[in-house]
Amino acid sequence: MRSRIDVLLIDDSVTDLRLLLELMTLRDLRFSVARDGEQGYRQAVALKPGLILLDIHMEKTDGFTVCRRLKADPGTAAIPVIFLTAATDLVTRLEGFQVGGVDYITKPFNETEVLARVGVHLGLAARRVSEQAGQNEKGEDAHPLSTPDEVLVVAAQRILRESIASPPSLDELALRVGSNRRKVGEAFQALCGQAVFAWLREERFRRAYAMLRETELQISDISDALGYSTPANFSKAFRERYGLTPTEIREGAISPP
């Protein structure tokens, strides 16, 4: 069964949108348009399009931020996102893939390329929807819908895990999930029962515990990987948290936390 909306176009350029609309019409695709990132995110949640074409560089909420939020929301996480950009540098492209994009279309648009990429990813998306429907018929539960706070926390946690050795400031974290420091702090407190960096401290302990028990990495390497200033500080933090040193934890003197 096809989605009510085949393609959601999110771009703040009138010129680019006009061309994309013409191309969608040529393919007889059902589409919706958003002129900024916030509106685009809301439409994605409401419409569940088969595919999203998302401009990276928008004045308010940029495309990477929108994509992080989409991928943190179980209701929209499976929707493929193709980024639209004039940038051709590798760093930008890698960041797009890291936040969950499946492809890029470069500006200025080549009509043949746009239609080809849209066609391929709509086909793949339709196949995934069909497979998911089959699983649900077998009695497998679908993902529950998330609240905005849950989406915010999941997106922020993903960023913190990916940069655990050198995490962003609270202001930068909030910016990257399209929010502000107060909302992020309140969401963490409500859902995790902890402040943001208290949660991160516990996440470091969880990650370190697993590395100590499941790898043969040197304790100094684990300390560096998790952002501790010195192995001595790492060991001190562990003794305060668990009552045992990392060496004792590695030797199996404590059960999993």
pTM: 0.69
189 with 202, same domain: the answer is no
**Alpha helices (runs of H) in 37-89, residue ranges in sequence order:** 37-47, 63-72
- pLDDT per residue as tens digits for the range 179-196: 899 999 999 999 888 899
Task: Output the domain CATH number for residue 228.
Answer: 1.10.10.60
Q: Is the pLDDT of residue 131 over 90?
A: no
CATH number at residue 181: 1.10.10
CB neighbours of residue 222 within 10 Å: 21
Residues 50-59 have pLDDT tens digits of 999 999 999 8
Residues 89 and 105 placed together within one structural domain of the fold: yes
Report whether pLDDT(136) > 80: no
Are 126 and 156 in a shared domain? no
Kindly tell me the burial class for residue 118, based on how many C-beta atoms sit within 10 Å of its own C-beta (0-12, 13-18, 19 or more): buried
Residue 55 lies in a domain: yes
Give every CB contact of residue 179 below 8 A, 6+ residues apart in sequence.
152
